Structure 1
Amino acid sequence: MNRALERPEDELLDTLPCALLRFDASGRVRACNARLLDLLGRNRRQVTGSRLDTLLTPGSTMFLRTYVLPLLMGRGQADEIALDLQHVDGSELPVLVSARREGLGADAVVHCAILPAPRRTDQERDLQRARREVERARGHLERANAELDRFAASAAHDLSEPTRKVRAFGDRLLHSQRSQLHPGDRDYVARMLAAAERMQGMIDGLHQLARSGQASEGRPRRQLAEVVSQVLGDFDRHITAAAAEVIVGELPDVDVDAVAVGQVLQNLLANAITYRRDGVVPEVQIEAGWLEPADAPTWWLRVRDNGTGFAPEHAVRLFEPFFRLHDKHKYPGAGLGLATSQRLARGLGGDLRAEGRPNEGASLTLTLPA
Structure 2
Amino acid sequence: MSGRRTVLAQPRGFCAGVRRAIGIVERALDLHGAPVYVRKEIVHNHYVVSELEKRGAVFVDSEDEVPRGAVCVFSAHGVSPGVRSAAAGRQLEVIDATCPLVAKVHSEAVRFARDGRTVLLVGHEGHEEVEGVLGEAPDRIVAIGTEDDVRRLALPDGTPVAVLTQTTLSFDETERVVAALHARFTDLVTPGDDICYASQNRQNAVKDLARDNDLVLIVGSRNSSNSLRMVEVARDHGAAAHLVPDVRHLDAAWLTDVSSVGVSAGASAPEILVDGLLARLAELGFDRVEFQRGIAEDVVFSMPGRLADPVTGRVPRTPLAGEVSAATGGV
Short-chain TM bin: under 0.3
Structure (1 or 2) with the greater helix fraction: 1
**Which structure has the larger Rg?**
1
Structure (1 or 2) with the greater strand fraction: 1
TM-score, normalization: structure 2? 0.21
